[in-house]
Structure 1
Amino acid sequence: MGSSAALSPALADRLVAVVGAGVAGLVCASRLADHGFQVTVFDMGRGPGGRMSQRREKAPDGGFFYFDHGAQYFTVKDPMVQCLVDKWESAGAVAEWSGKFGTYDMMTKQFIEDMEVSKKRYVGVPGMNAICQTLSEHPGVAAKFNTIVAKMDWVEERKVWTLTSKDGMQLGEFWAVVATDKIMASPRAFLKTGLPRPLDVAVPYLAEKVSAVTSSPSFACMLVFSQSLTTIPLDGFNIVGSKVLAWASCDSSKPKRDKLMSSGECWVLHSTAEYALEVIKDAGMEKPSDELLSAVARCLFEEFKKIGGILEPMFAKAHRWGSAFPDVSIAKEEGCLLDEFKRIAVCGDFCVGPRVECAILSGISAAEKVQDLTYLDSKY
């Protein structure tokens, strides 16, 4: 466990690179920055978020529709995570989603409300990505987006890492690296860069563990209705008895969404892994075509419509979530993977579990272990 006391100002010279701007990477980055490290976060996306991203789509009136198309909400059990969430809530980045939740049974056509009042469901405000956006602007953290880290080289003589982007740009030298994106050990890395998988070259034994992680896919369908769906008594619900749909929620019912949205009621549907695997089996993992996504959106909506009393949407669009839920946890007890001699950690939901809280815990663990490396360094 790392010390909570601030470290020497000399640590400002110990630059740390975090690859991946999801919640695990950004929690790690912000905690390291709090202890005097200078941290640079790299992400291939246009902004932070990972599974906690938010999608913006143009509305007919010139405004925008916003959707939390990935993680819908998160719950907290760990006191350390609760302390963090309380701080985010005080800063206005998080709020409780105090709607009605439960399940819908496709066979019996019945809604069953979850009456467990003690269970708090948290969301980012005004969008799920607000948490990661806030963390990416944390003092001591510099976030660089639209950047694919294609190569990581450990320079043994100077005990530093050098990082190179997909287009050959030198991204800098770093005292330590934290990798949070399992694509760095995936065959998809070669498809994106044409180079060997970064973790394979840098730390092959860690890469082997990360590459063994399999994930269940999902498709998200974003819908907008001109009128509220008054026949549905719940704001978010799991769906049982369907081979196509697993979840449906009214995004507009989340706190502060009314100040963000254009006119219309926004809903998000998530497919079952079974359905997503069938589609991917036929279409492959290449970027899905507009035609395929349109067909998926139609299929998910038609299944949703079976609930009854649901009119045609004014907007419908699908998104493939290729690695929605990791099937295994490769560092459940440790919280993250670590090579202390090369000063590289690997963290993420695939280390601890497929929940937002698990990703946060993994990020905390990685920050503590990198922080502890300063004490290891002082022994040599």
Structure 2
Amino acid sequence: MPDSVAVIGSGISGISAAHKLVDNGFLVTIFDQGKNPGGRLGLRSLRNPPFINRPVDVGAAYFTVSQTQFQNKVDQWQSLGLVHQWTDTFHVFKDYEITTTTGPMRYGAKKGLRSLAIHELAELTKKGVTHLQERKITSVVDKKNKVLVENQEFDAVVFAMPGLQAARIIQDKDLKKELSKQVCLPVLSAWFVIDSDTPKYDAMFVNDHEVISLIINDGKRRKDNAPVVNVLTTNDYAKTRLENIDYYLDEIVDHGLEIWNIKSDVVEKGITRWSMAQVAPSSRVAMPERMAIVGDAYSDNPRIEAAWLDGVAVLSQLEVLN
């Protein structure tokens, strides 16, 4: 019988790891504690007409491509109409001066970036992968020839999550201590709808501001031109405001309106927190031979592409299965 592998986390790295494992003949079970899959591919749905149930990306803002292996996957997504090229030019706000900067092409998704996770999990299910969403794991124990995940035996386990989260469920005290050293940075993500046309900017990096780091025109990102704006805070602002986040919504929205010189009325708004929004680049902790940990933290430039590619490379950590 094929070896069994538990993948804990249904974000991008967990999904790509599951593809690699099932394509190499392993029996794969994906666990995720969230209501929805995708990890930091966060979405919220608007509540009011005329945009009721329209999704807004409130986690990862976009993705870029630099490696052929990931480009092949993106080409596949494009051919299915899941993603599209958005823009290679952002505006930059600093000291009330606005300039532009050109970089790599940014990609968006018509139904939100979480739709990529939903699509890939459906494909994995067709391959025989078991996907258990809203399944919280509280204990992982390394035995001599097996790994116990909530007392269920597997031949190996993949932690597709930041080290800080893995540390909460791994029972080995020394390993828990090492994983807890990883640095994660928080962000508050607000969104609002205005009663006018979509703003003129695609997106704007906000430099040296006490509250805001990035403003995204979700209507242009989604290519439906809805007057929906997503505002992300700085890490420093968020780190002391992770409780009672609704209290800070108006302040964040007001800064976004001011920076973009929007005079229209706000007709809907909301906020969410990402306590582990950005994982600082870090060295991978040495794991027991039947455990692997994957994610974008182990790249010099953490991002969606890095998460996908790190998951693809999962077998390099599980030589015991080869």
Which stretch shows the higher mean deviation, 292-301 or 80-89?
80-89
Deviation at 1:198, TM superposition (A): 2.2
CA contact (8 A) 2:164 2:181 kept: no
Instruction: Show the counterpart of 2:134.
Output: 146
Which stretch shows the higher mean deviation, 268-277 or 54-63?
54-63
The C-alpha deviation readout for 1:93-120, integer Å capped at 9, x for no partner, is 3221137522122x2x33322245xx21
Deviation at 1:245, TM superposition (A): 0.5
TM-score by length of 2: 0.89
Distance in 1 of aligned mates of 2:183 and 2:82: 31
Partner-residue secondary structure (3-state), 1:88: helix
Instruction: Show the counterpart of 1:219.
Output: 188
Structure 1 residues not aligned, in runs of 5+ = 1-9, 165-169, 187-196, 259-263, 281-287, 376-380
Find out whether 1:160 has 2:149 as its counterpart: no
Distance in 1 of aligned mates of 2:165 and 2:235: 23
Distance in 1 of aligned mates of 2:157 and 2:87: 39
CA contact (8 A) 2:164 2:182 kept: no
Q: 1:126 to 1:46 in 2, by over 3 A?
A: same
Distance in 1 of aligned mates of 2:59 and 2:305: 15
Find out whether 1:177 has 2:157 as its counterpart: yes
Find out whether 1:39 has 2:28 as its counterpart: yes
Amino acid corresponding to residue 112 of structure 2 in structure 1? G
Distance in 1 of aligned mates of 2:20 and 2:74: 14
CA contact (8 A) 1:136 1:142 kept: no
Distance in 2 of aligned mates of 1:310 and 1:99: 27
Instruction: Show the counterpart of 1:339.
Output: 288
Matches within 5 A, 1:90-129: 90-98=79-87, 100-105=89-94, 107=95, 109-116=96-103, 119-129=104-114
Find out whether 1:328 has 2:281 as its counterpart: yes
Q: 1:255 to 1:61 in 2, by over 3 A?
A: closer
Instruction: Show the counterpart of 1:301.
Output: 253
CA contact (8 A) 1:29 1:367 kept: no
The C-alpha deviation readout for 1:115-163, integer Å capped at 9, x for no partner, is 45xx21122342111221122122232211111111123343xx22222
Partner-residue secondary structure (3-state), 1:76: coil
Matches within 5 A, 1:309-328: 309-328=262-281
Matches within 5 A, 1:1-380: 10=1, 13-60=2-49, 63-98=52-87, 100-105=89-94, 107=95, 109-116=96-103, 119-137=104-122, 138=124, 139-156=127-144, 159-164=145-150, 172-181=152-161, 182-186=163-167, 197-199=168-170, 201-202=171-172, 204-230=173-199, 233-255=200-222, 257=224, 264-280=226-242, 288=243, 292-307=244-259, 308-331=261-284, 337-340=286-289, 343-352=290-299, 353-370=301-318, 372-375=319-322
Amino acid corresponding to residue 178 of structure 2 in structure 1? K
Distance in 2 of aligned mates of 1:242 and 1:354: 23
Instruction: Show the counterpart of 1:284.
Output: none
Deviation at 1:87, TM superposition (A): 2.4
Deviation at 1:256, TM superposition (A): 5.5
Structure 2 residues not aligned, in runs of 5+ = none
CA contact (8 A) 1:21 1:132 kept: yes
CA contact (8 A) 1:337 1:347 kept: no
Q: 1:354 to 1:46 in 2, by over 3 A?
A: same
Q: 1:100 to 1:59 in 2, by over 3 A?
A: farther
Partner-residue secondary structure (3-state), 2:241: helix
The C-alpha deviation readout for 1:289-326, integer Å capped at 9, x for no partner, is xxx33321101111122232332311111111111112
Report % sequence identity.
Answer: 24
TM-score by length of 1: 0.76
Distance in 2 of aligned mates of 1:368 and 1:155: 21
CA contact (8 A) 1:180 1:346 kept: yes
Q: 1:41 to 1:256 in 2, by over 3 A?
A: farther
Question: What's the C-alpha RMSD, in Å, of the aligned pairs?
Answer: 2.3
Number of corresponding residues: 316
Instruction: Show the counterpart of 1:285.
Output: none
CA contact (8 A) 1:215 1:324 kept: yes
Q: 1:217 to 1:162 in 2, by over 3 A?
A: same
Partner-residue secondary structure (3-state), 1:97: strand
Distance in 2 of aligned mates of 1:136 and 1:337: 28
Distance in 2 of aligned mates of 1:30 and 1:345: 15
CA contact (8 A) 1:239 1:247 kept: yes
Amino acid corresponding to residue 215 of structure 2 in structure 1? A
Distance in 1 of aligned mates of 2:237 and 2:98: 23
Deviation at 1:266, TM superposition (A): 1.3
